[in-house]
Every structure is written in structure tokens, then in C-alpha cells.
Amino acid sequence: MSTSAELTNTQALSPAAGGVAEISSMTKGKHPLCQISVTAGNLLDSLGFPLHTKCMIPRRVNKVMQLVFLCSSAVAAEKQVKPWVVMADWHRRGEDAVTGNALAGSFGRSRSGVEAVYRDDHAAFDLEWYAYSNRFAGAIAGTDSAYADTTDLIITGFRQWGSFQLIYGLESAAEEGVSFGDGFRWGLGGAWRWSPDSETDVALGLIFQDRFEQSVLPVPYLKAVWRPCSFGEVELRATGLQNGVIFRGYTEDRGTTVDFSVAYETLMFRLSDGAYGGRDVSVGEVPIRLGVTQFLDRSGTWFVRAQAEYVPFARHSFHHAGETMASFEVSPIWGAGARVGARF
């Protein structure tokens, strides 16, 4: 089940993916309402003061009261929770030589899709749809060591009761021509979440993952976030699907986030039958990413993200009935991506 490394934790740890962590905690600066001026008389009327009280307060004090009252209201409005995040995503890697296979050629990949995330203090729900364009060239193209374009529809999430989290995932990930049902797989598990101090948040557990032509695999689950200051945080993940570390830095108003990550990530797709029968492909890769997320308005609604990545290792393994039938690796390659979204 594919989730991107930049999509992560908010107030509660979640298996969902996505650039959501750097989005969910954003707060903004002074609100435009703080610049609005009203008469002290109207202000005092709204607070229930009698008429003669207005005459006892100097004009300068009235102005101060106006600003305090209005700015407090504006800050409260801006701190309203925005539980939904909706995003459109594009990503591309160039082509590079295939190694570790008797057949020569090259491989490149592009991805586009949409994602919707809902989060509150006790649950998270992540719906993703991505289309992958897999570009094979040379002698390897069209063989059982290659595959056509693929799609991935995935629902992941968690529900928390006290300190316990139920973690789940449902996915249909398949090559073109393979039915929705044949591409179905699942994940289910649980984790115990606790905060040893105000700066640290940890979830530790176990997840069982279906793997098509391979046996169900129990995978240790760990997500830990350390926030040493208001300008940054470090997240450690070990979930089987994503295993690595993410560093995030924020500007003072949280309007801009810079993140850097190194992780081992996996994808898996059900493929059309090969010469030996049913097959799947497991992709394991190590992207090194640098990304920037920028909010476009003071309300913290619209945002854009750009990222660059270098992938020094990527391996594709083809399986049938629990056996590895073929594999290849891709030479180190560069990639880039962009995302636009909104919170509401």
C-alpha cells in the first residue's frame, strides 16, 4: 500500500500518507480583522455595559479595548480546526538503465493522482487514487520482467480509544487489464500510543499485511515524533511500507515548511499472468527527498508543495506462489514532484 513519505503525523499518529503533517499544525499571524475600527460605544453595548460607562473611559483606552477584543475573536476564528485536506499530486522520474537482469533496457516512472484526508483527535481517514505510467524500453519491454501502467486505490486510517489505535488499510493495486477484485489486498493491526513528555509522541504495534502471491506478513509498526522546539520536528517511521526518518523545519508563522527525508519505501501491484501463471511485483526503493510546502493565504487554506528527490537504489521483484521469479534494479535516478491542495 503506497503512501508518500512526506505525508504523516498530525495531532494523532496515523498510517496515512500524505504532506499532511506540515499542513495540519499551521497557524497564521495577525488577522485582517485586527485592523477594523468600531466605536467604543458599540463595543461596550455589545459587552453589556450601561450607557454612562462609555463616558468614563478615555478614547485611547477605548481603542485598546477594541483591538484586544477583535484580535482575540480573530485568533479564535483562525484556530478553528480544519479536519479535511484535499490534494492533487504529480511526480516524475527520468529513465535509466536496468541492471541485475539478463535483458537490457531502461525504466522510468510517472505518477499523478488525488488524495483526501480527514483527521481529528481520535481518528484519521485517507483516501488516495494514483495512476502510474511505467516506461520500459529495450529488450526488457514486453517480457515477464516488465509490466504496463498501473493504478492504486487505497483507503488507510486508524481509530483510537484511549491509548490504543486500530490501524487498517484496504487497497486495489493492479496492472491495466487486471480486475478490481484481483488487485485487492488488506492490512490490519494495532498500536499503543503514548507521550513520555510534552515533546515526544510514540506509537508502537504490529500490522498484518496481505501480499498477493506471497504469504501474509506480520510487520512491526513504529511512529515516533520529537518536537524539540516550535521551529522543527523529527519523525521516525518503521511500518514495512515506509521505514526512515523525516526532518521538518517551520517558519515562525508556520506559513512555510521545509522537509528532508531518507526512507526505504515499498509498492506492490497485482500483474497480468505471465508464462508461469499469476504474478505480482514488489518495488523497494530508497528516495532521498527535499521538499518545500508554502501556504498561499493568511487563513491557512490553500497550499502548494514542490519536491526534488534522488533515488540511489530501486529494485523490482516478480513473485509467483511465494517464489521470486525475476528481478531487476534501476541505476540511480533523479525525480521531481508538485502538489496543490486546500484545508477546510
**Per-residue pLDDT tens over the stretch 272-281:** 999 999 999 9
Q: Where are the domains of the chain?
A: 21-27+79-343, 32-77
Could you tell me where the beta strands, DSSP code E, fall in the chain? 84-93, 96-99, 106-119, 123-137, 150-161, 164-175, 184-197, 200-211, 214-229, 232-238, 242-250, 256-274, 277-295, 302-320, 323-330, 333-343
**Cell numbers found for residue 1:** 500500500
DSSP letters for 212-279? TTEEEEEEEEEEEEEEEETTEEEEEEESSSEEEEEEEEE-TTS-EEEEEEEEEEEEEEEEEEETTEEE
SS3 state of residue 3: coil
Q: Whole-prediction pTM value?
A: 0.77
CATH 1.25.40 at 21-27+79-343, yes or no: no
Question: Are 241 and 220 a contacting pair, CB within 8 Å?
Answer: no
**Per-residue pLDDT tens over the stretch 46-70:** 444 444 444 344 444 344 444 444 4
Residues 6+ positions from 189 with CB-CB distance below 8 Å: 167, 168, 205, 206, 207, 208, 219, 221
Measure the CA–CA gap between 231 and 237, rounded to whole angstroms. 20
Q: What is the mean pLDDT of the chain?
A: 82
How much is the average pLDDT of 239-261?
94
Measured CA angle at 113 (ends 105, 224), to 5 deg: 95
How much is the average pLDDT of 247-258?
94
Rg of the chain, C-alpha, whole Å: 25
Measure the CA–CA gap between 143 and 231, rounded to whole angstroms. 50
pLDDT category at 298 given cuts 50, 70, 90 is confident
pLDDT at position 80: 60
Torsion of CA 135, 140, 145, 146, to 10 degrees: 20
**Per-residue pLDDT tens over the stretch 150-165:** 999 999 999 999 999 9
pLDDT at position 64: 41
**Per-residue pLDDT tens over the stretch 125-141:** 999 999 999 999 999 99
- List the one residue out of 93, 90, 119, 88 whose CA is nearest residue 106: 93
**Per-residue pLDDT tens over the stretch 153-210:** 999 999 999 999 999 999 999 999 999 999 999 999 999 999 999 899 999 999 999 9
